[in-house]
């Protein structure tokens, strides 16, 4: 049988939440920024799966939270936007794992927080929405070869705390979020070949701070979020072949500011807002609980490592900021 379990691993140097994490091409995990109590962090650190230890990766040029972090095709990491306690940031910077240094790159046209960043098939980065004085529908593209930003067409709805998912055909599906009219159930996709946005079917529920995961069958699983002050436990599936949404059942717990990770076995691990964890099985459409985390977390990060384990780092536990991290692993047991 397969034993699924959580194991503690090394703790970060700095406790943090509203940070970001990405898996580098060398297999290490880079964590950047976030908050510790009222401090907006510019510190970054690296997790080495071979040792289970965290080490400093230097300081960014600006402290920031609720930013984005993207591993470019050349292996460098692009960090964009966020909030530093005073300003919505339009600044961007690059981390080079080969030199372990941070350098500024050109700034976006707008400061943003609660936006998304998606790496397109041609290597450019699409940044969408976020809060920019109002609920921004603006979008822009970063070209790593020139280090410059260009505006592209705006979304049909301004939104923040939404999701963006790259579909098999290269389109980018954006769902939900908070807009001028409240909690959005609308969805639309961006076509990189034309630069245009096209509305698609609306979700069954408006939701903010939810998750969206592209399954191996090409469908997109959306889970949880916040709607009209209530934490949502519902989930739904988007089918790109029809443009329609269908129910994916209800999770065992309502969740927001959580994470959803597609595992090697094609199941989706959803964690956050409680210490329990649950799995969605696309082959059956069922939700099942699995072993509980060692800590209750929200506003954490979850990164799938090259060996298939999931590294969960930081976040909030009942108002306390965490520096702990733990691993979700699958071990084969004989007998």
Give the whole-angstrom CA distance, residue 42 versus residue 58.
9
Give the residue among 190, 181, 189 at the shortest CA–CA distance from 208.
181
pLDDT one-digit tens code per residue, 34-64: 999 999 999 999 999 999 999 999 999 999 9
| DSSP annotation string for 86-121 | S-B---EEEEETTTTEEEEEPPPSS--BS-EEEE-T
| Local structure of residue 286 (DSSP, 8 states) | E
Using only C-alpha atoms, what is the Rg of the chain?
Answer: 19
Give the whole-angstrom CA distance, residue 3 versus residue 65.
36
Give the residue among 86, 127, 79 at the shortest CA–CA distance from 103.
79
How does residue 332 score in pLDDT terms, banded at 50, 70 and 90? Answer: very low
Q: What is the pLDDT of residue 135?
A: 80
**Which strand (E) or helix (H) includes residue 23?**
strand 20-23
Give the whole-angstrom CA distance, residue 139 versus residue 190.
10
pLDDT one-digit tens code per residue, 154-168: 999 999 999 999 999
Cβ atoms of 325 and 272 closer than 8 Å: no
| pLDDT exceeds cutoff 90 at 132 | no
Give the residue among 255, 334, 235, 335 at the shortest CA–CA distance from 302.
255
For the chain, report the end-to-end CA distance as a whole number of angstroms. Answer: 7
Domains and CATH numbers, the chain: 2-332 (2.120.10.80)
| Local structure of residue 132 (DSSP, 8 states) | S
Give the whole-angstrom CA distance, residue 318 versus residue 325.
16
Give the whole-angstrom CA distance, residue 113 versus residue 90.
9
Give the residue among 70, 68, 13, 17 at the shortest CA–CA distance from 40.
17
| pLDDT exceeds cutoff 90 at 331 | no
Say whether pTM exceeds 0.75. yes
């Amino acid at each position: 049988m397969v034993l699924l379990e959580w194991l503690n691993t090394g703790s970060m140097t700095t406790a943090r939440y509203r940070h970001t994490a990405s898996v580098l091409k060398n297999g290490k995990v880079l964590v950047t920024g976030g908050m510790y109590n009222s401090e907006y962090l510019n510190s970054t650190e690296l997790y080495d799966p071979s040792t289970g230890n965290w080490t400093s990766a230097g300081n960014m040029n600006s402290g920031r939270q609720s930013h984005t972090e993207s591993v470019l095709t050349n292996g460098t990491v692009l960090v964009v936007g966020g909030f530093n306690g005073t300003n919505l940031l339009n600044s961007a910077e690059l981390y080079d794992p080969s030199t372990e240094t941070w350098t500024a790159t050109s700034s976006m046209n707008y400061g943003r927080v609660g936006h998304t960043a998606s790496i397109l098939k041609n290597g450019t980065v699409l940044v969408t929405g976020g809060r920019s004085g109002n609920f921004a529908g603006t979008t822009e593209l970063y070209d790593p070869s020139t280090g410059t930003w260009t505006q592209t067409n705006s979304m049909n709805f301004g939104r923040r705390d939404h999701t963006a998912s790259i579909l098999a055909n290269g389109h980018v599906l954006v769902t939900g979020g908070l807009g001028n009219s409240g909690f959005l159930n609308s969805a639309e996709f961006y076509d990189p070949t034309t630069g245009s946005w096209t509305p698609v079917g609306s979700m069954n529920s408006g939701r903010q701070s939810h998750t969206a995961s592209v399954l191996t069958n090409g469908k997109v699983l959306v889970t949880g979020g916040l709607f009209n002050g209530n934490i949502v436990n519902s989930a739904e599936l988007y089918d790109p072949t029809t443009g329609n949404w269908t129910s994916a059942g209800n999770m065992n717990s309502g969740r927001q500011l959580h994470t959803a990770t597609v595992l090697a076995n094609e199941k989706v691990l959803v964690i956050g807002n409680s210490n329990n964890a649950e799995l969605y099985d696309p082959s059956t459409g069922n939700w099942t609980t699995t072993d509980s985390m060692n800590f209750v977390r929200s506003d954490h990060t979850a990164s799938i490592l090259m060996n298939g384990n999931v590294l969960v780092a930081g976040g909030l536990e009942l108002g306390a900021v965490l520096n702990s991290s733990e691993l979700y692993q699958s071990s084969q047991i004989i007998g």
